Amino acid sequence: MKALRHAAAMSMLCLCCGVAVPAMAAKSDAPPKAAASQIEIRNFAFAPNSMTVPVGTRVVWTNRDEEPHVITSAGKQFATSPALDTSDTYAVTFSKPGTYAYYCSIHPMMVGTIIVQ
């Protein structure tokens, strides 16, 4: 349903001149979106702490704790996040299949896994 609505919006008339604008020329603030998955950091844990996503998925962590957390790849497979304060987010797009284990470098007992396939 989301995709259909999006397509309809892209083909609407230009509001300023009334001319139909081709979808490719439509102004967009964001690049085409890959599927996104959300992980919340809450009570010193990643929720969900394990998820399986298709290749190309953008995974977004959001810190819901009052404490800072740092997303760190266990195998240095992706860049380490800055220290996330409350409500801060960090996103990684996974373009290769694999198993990505990560942890919080401040609280190493906080661990999670993302399986990309």
Residues in binding contact with Cu ion, number by CB under 5 A: 4
Tell me the per-residue interface mask from 58 to 97 with Cu ion, x by CB under 5 A, - otherwise: -----------x----------------------------
Q: Degrees (nearest 5) of the Cα angle 66, 68, 74? A: 135
Q: Judged by CB under 5 A, does residue 106 bind Cu ion? A: yes
Q: Judged by CB under 5 A, does residue 107 bind Cu ion? A: yes
- The 10 Å Cβ neighbour count of residue 71 is 26
The one-letter code for the residue type at 25 is: A
Tell me the per-residue interface mask from 19 to 58 with Cu ion, x by CB under 5 A, - otherwise: ----------------------------------------
Give burial (CB, 10 Å; 0-12/13-18/19+) of 87. Answer: exposed
